[in-house]
Structure 1
Amino acid sequence: MHRIKYSLNIYTQWVAIFAETEDLQIVIIVIRKFARSMLFLLKIYLLIFARVATLHIKMALKMF
């Protein structure tokens, strides 16, 4: 979560820089690329979390 907040801070700084320039198309391209990478990161986080959770559940069931 901390990494996501950090990348969002960088992203908002970029938007502030681009807002001053007139090229809106560049901004849109950057936003699209950023959105794709964020979705990819979220998918990876969810996959890892699911794997870890299932491992913990299996371990807990073996204990009983």
Structure 2
Amino acid sequence: MYPAPGNRNAQAGLLGAVGKVGYGWLATSNGTNGMDLNFGTLWLSPNSADARGLGFQLRCLSE
């Protein structure tokens, strides 16, 4: 099971969606954005580009 830690608002720094969605940075980037995997209870987005200030978790899945 993968935890759903939510995210941090890039401007205000407040936590949001804790326990509802999960995010994890990928090793690649897209311009000024980082690439990430994100999911909720009914969806999975394995290759999204989001602002690095969102404070997603870093999680080593494999080497």
TM-score, length-scaled by structure 2:
0.20
Higher Cα Rg, which structure: 1
Structure number with higher relative contact order (C-alpha < 8 Å, ≥ 6 residues apart): 2
TM-score, length-scaled by structure 1:
0.20
Q: Which protein has the bigger helix share? A: 1
